[in-house]
């Protein structure tokens, strides 16, 4: 059951392919935008495995939160492919995929906090324990996010994982939390989740980005409207 997963939720995008239990993945990080790289690079990468869009049983996409522009590109690209191939789409929340990364394997009876850089001096975060989400995705300044987790789980061991640690490791360390590095491209854990049946297969037009907070364009428009 081949499933192709696309992640454009951050500047460092990734792709993964589920092949009946075997997963192949790749990440890219260069100055070009996701829109410039896609769909040519994705189709070429799939071709290396002898896979075409028509061979796939489903598409998966990391649906957010994350970069507003990146999410729109990823969702729109995946929708276009799925429409063309007549296949369903499986939308996987970004923080779910971070929490399911192999770097967090074996963590039991501890609170796992996936956190990714949300720009604007904020992070996107949630909290998990033993594979269950206990705090839903939210956006906050790093210190506020840490404080909210501590308040929800007083005295419990906490492990943080995700790309926000590149910027905000000092905040995590000050809280006495442990840290884990991501062990694989984000699309890899996302495609594993997609194949697990945890998330529904839906029609392409039903896929929506998960923003968590309002896009910059909306807040800027409101400011302009108030100034008039």
User: Hey, where are the domains in the chain?
Assistant: 3-93+184-227, 102-180
Q: Between 141 and 227, name the one with better pLDDT.
A: 141
Between strands 89-92 and 58-62, the pairing is: parallel
Mean pLDDT, range 191-204, rounded to an integer: 97
pLDDT, tens only, 69-122 = 999 999 999 999 999 999 999 999 999 999 999 999 999 999 999 999 999 999
Please check whether the two domains, 3-93+184-227 and 102-180, share a CATH topology: yes
Q: What is the pTM of this model?
A: 0.91
At 22-77, the pLDDT tens digits run 999 999 876 567 777 788 899 999 999 999 999 999 999 999 999 999 999 999 99
Superfamily of domain 102-180 in CATH is ATPase, nucleotide binding domain (3.30.420.40)
Summarize the confidence of residues 177-190 as an average pLDDT. Answer: 97
CATH number of 3-93+184-227: 3.30.420.40
Instruction: Identify the pLDDT of residue 3.
Output: 98
pLDDT on residue 35: 74
Percentage of the chain beyond pLDDT 70 is 92
Please work out, in degrees rounded to the nearest 5, the angle formed at the alpha carbon of residue 29 by the alpha carbons of 94 and 40: 90
For residues 175 and 1, the answer to whether their CB atoms sit within 8 Å is: no
């Amino acid at each position: 059951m081949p499933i192709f997963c696309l992640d454009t939720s951050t500047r460092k995008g990734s792709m993964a392919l589920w092949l009946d239990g075997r997963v192949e993945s790749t990440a890219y990080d260069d100055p070009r935008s996701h829109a410039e790289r896609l769909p040519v690079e994705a189709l070429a990468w799939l071709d290396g495995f002898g896979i075409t869009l028509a061979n796939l049983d489903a598409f998966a996409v990391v649906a957010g939160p994350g970069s507003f522009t990146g999410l729109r590109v990823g969702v729109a690209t995946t929708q276009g492919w799925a429409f063309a191939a007549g296949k369903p789409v499986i939308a996987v929340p970004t923080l779910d995929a971070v929490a399911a990364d192999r770097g967090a394997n074996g963590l039991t009876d501890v609170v796992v906090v996936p956190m990714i850089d949300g720009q604007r001096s904020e992070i996107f975060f949630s909290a998990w324990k033993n594979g269950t989400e206990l705090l839903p995705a939210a956006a906050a300044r790093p210190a506020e996010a840490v404080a909210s987790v501590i308040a929800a789980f007083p005295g419990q061991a906490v492990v943080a994982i995700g790309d926000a640690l590149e910027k905000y490791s000092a905040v995590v360390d000050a809280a006495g939390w442990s840290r884990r590095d991501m062990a694989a491209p984000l699309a890899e854990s996302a495609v594993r989740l997609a194949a697990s049946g945890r998330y529904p297969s839906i029609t392409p037009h039903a896929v929506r980005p998960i923003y968590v907070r309002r896009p910059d364009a909306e807040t800027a428009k409101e400011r302009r409207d108030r100034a008039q």
